[in-house]
A = this chain, B = another copy of it.
Amino acid sequence: MTATSDDELDEVYAFAVQLGKEAGDMLMGAARSRFGDAGQSEQAVEEKENAVDIVTKTDEAVEAFIKSSIEARYPGHKFIGEETYSKGSSREYLITDVAPTWCVDPLDGTVNFTHLFPMFCVSIGFIIGGEAVIGVIYAPFLNQLFSACRGRGAWLNETLPLPLVRNPVPAMPPQAPSGCVFSCEWGKDRRDTPDGNMHRKVESFVNMAAEVGGREGKGGMVHGVRSLGSATLDLAYTAMGAFDIWWEGGCWEWDVAAGIAVLQEAGGLVTTANPPEEPDTAEIPDVRLGSRLYLAIRPAGPSATESGRQGQERVVREVWRRVRSMDYARPGA
């Protein structure tokens, strides 16, 4: 592909932010139509439908809006959305190096949206040369808009730079994962298969949580364990510095493209969730967008003894020492 100029990128970024705001407002409108302060007769009709149907309709309507807006403005760009993808017959990885590509989840945190828990958002990623360079995440019930564009910083509500604490950005805790907030998700794969993904996840969660010295030395005694039900917002809060570590398997590129763009621009590190054979010495690979296996570390400043990047890599290895490999297949990635 031809390199995108700085001016073009600025324009695409402004377009993406506006698109995110409008799409988020659509989500909030659909949520609000179910509130008890809406006209009673209107709501009575709505709620006769299964809440899940309302959600599916909203999901599809918002994706159609985003897709058509992009096609009208940038007819040469490729579009990959969660909804259109799900209806296809395969889950092949479709992002190439060739065309600038939009990778969109119209509604991340679908279960939250169904239950009206505020942790839902629209997630818009823009990819050049296979890398997410723009990310826009809008959680309208929280009034939180996260956005980033390569070289232009990462922002909360367009005014607060990310990470929030930045003069200086705190170093990773010396005894990490102790002192860290650990974000993880139970996900949908709950098969009770011996040594299946659910049990591997839970074993990993417990290792990270248990007292130091426990779990045959694997106890990480993290400061807190959090599960929000939105991969996108997990990444956004990691970019903010609120979560130190996010570890997850099973989600898809539309769940993470925008979040990875925001996190990387904020100074975070993203690599693979699955530990290599030699976690203490293996090279730390850059994340592959379609890998379905993600480990994210928050932005970090230097300490007296190591650079920010060294601190992040130390934490990656400490996580790898405590977690199990997960088994998520991915055609074409």
A residues in contact (CB < 8 Å) with B: 34-38, 40, 43-44, 47, 51, 111-112, 114-118, 142-144, 159-161, 163-168, 170, 181, 186, 190-192, 198, 202, 205-206, 209-211, 213-215, 219, 221, 223-229, 237, 240-244
Which residue from chain B places its CB closest to the CB of A142 in the assembled complex?
B142
The one of B36, B160, B198, B221 in contact with A165, judged by C-beta atoms closer than 8 angstroms, is B36
5 pairs from A and B in contact (CB 8 Å cutoff): A36-B160, A36-B163, A112-B242, A117-B181, A192-B213
Neighbouring B residues of A34 by C-beta, 8 Å: 164-165
Which residue from chain B places its CB closest to the CB of A119 in the assembled complex?
B226
Q: How far is the CB of A129 from chain B (nearest CB, A)?
A: 30
Asked if A170 meets B47 with Cβ closer than 8 Å, knowing A226-B229, A242-B118, the reply is: yes
Give me 15 other A-B pairs in contact (C-beta within 8 A), A37-B160, A190-B209, A224-B229 excluded: A36-B163, A36-B166, A43-B165, A44-B168, A111-B223, A112-B242, A115-B224, A116-B242, A117-B181, A118-B142, A142-B142, A186-B225, A192-B214, A198-B210, A226-B227
Neighbouring B residues of A242 by C-beta, 8 Å: 112, 115-118
Asked if A117 meets B237 with Cβ closer than 8 Å, knowing A112-B224, A159-B37, the reply is: yes
**B116 touching A240 by the CB < 8 A rule?**
yes
Asked if A36 meets B164 with Cβ closer than 8 Å, knowing A111-B223, A111-B224, the reply is: yes
The one of B44, B117, B210, B223 in contact with A192, judged by C-beta atoms closer than 8 angstroms, is B210
**B47 touching A165 by the CB < 8 A rule?**
yes
8 closest A-B pairs by beta carbon, nearest first, are: A192-B214, A36-B166, A117-B242, A186-B225, A111-B224, A227-B227, A192-B210, A40-B167
**B159 touching A241 by the CB < 8 A rule?**
no
Which of A115, A160, A215, A225 has its CB near the most chain B CB atoms (within 10 A)? A115
Q: How far is the CB of A323 from chain B (nearest CB, A)?
A: 15
Q: How far is the CA of A170 from the CA of B190 in the complex (A)?
A: 26
Q: How far is the CB of A145 from chain B (nearest CB, A)?
A: 14
Q: How far is the CB of A127 from chain B (nearest CB, A)?
A: 28
**A206 touching B211 by the CB < 8 A rule?**
no
Q: How far is the CA of A244 from the CA of B190 in the complex (A)?
A: 19
Neighbouring B residues of A229 by C-beta, 8 Å: 181, 224, 226
The one of B51, B219, B240 in contact with A190, judged by C-beta atoms closer than 8 angstroms, is B219
**A167 touching B241 by the CB < 8 A rule?**
no
